[in-house]
Amino acid sequence: MGDPLANRPDEVALRRDLAAGRFLLGVATGRWRLESIAFPHAVVSVIAADGIAYGLRFECSDYPRTAVTACPWDVERDQPLAPEMWPKGTSRIPLAFNPQWKNATCLYLPCDRISVQGHDPWRTKHPQLLWDPSKGICKYLAIVHELLNSGEYGGRRAVAA
């Protein structure tokens, strides 16, 4: 008997998006790269202005109908990224990459499934940053890439030991 999770519509949709042009264009242009998929999780690294690759571990259940959620991820150690290794910067960077938010389990972004809960004003204040099922995970990745390549980005909080 096969894997009971095989051929789940959400997994099929995620894999289709990760093999499609929008995602592959981000890979080809050096914006992000796929690290692994162990559904319902996918790990994708987003490349910052200084070349640091920040891993994000996405939880993708009910994809793309339901927004994903992602936490900064240590790709080498396969565990959450230590808060002292999160990106630093000004303005939007410490808001989005806030280790105190939800115990460092997600980014503080309107496109994040967990963060959007209880933030109804975001729907009118930041409609361009909300989850869009037609763009899927690439919408989230594009928002993170823009932040990590903005003038507000200030590098990594600490140097790996």
Which residue out of 60, 71, 106, 111 is catalytically annotated? Answer: 111
d(CA 11, CA 7): 7
| Cα 133 to chain centroid, rounded | 15
Q: Is the separation of the CB atoms in 130 and 109 below 8 Å? A: no
* CA 139-131-157 angle, 5° bins: 60
Write the CB contacts of 107 (distance below 8 Å, at least 6 apart in sequence).
Answer: 56, 70, 71, 72, 96, 97, 101, 115, 144
Strand partners, 38: 41
| Residue 111: active-site member | yes
Residues tagged active-site: 111
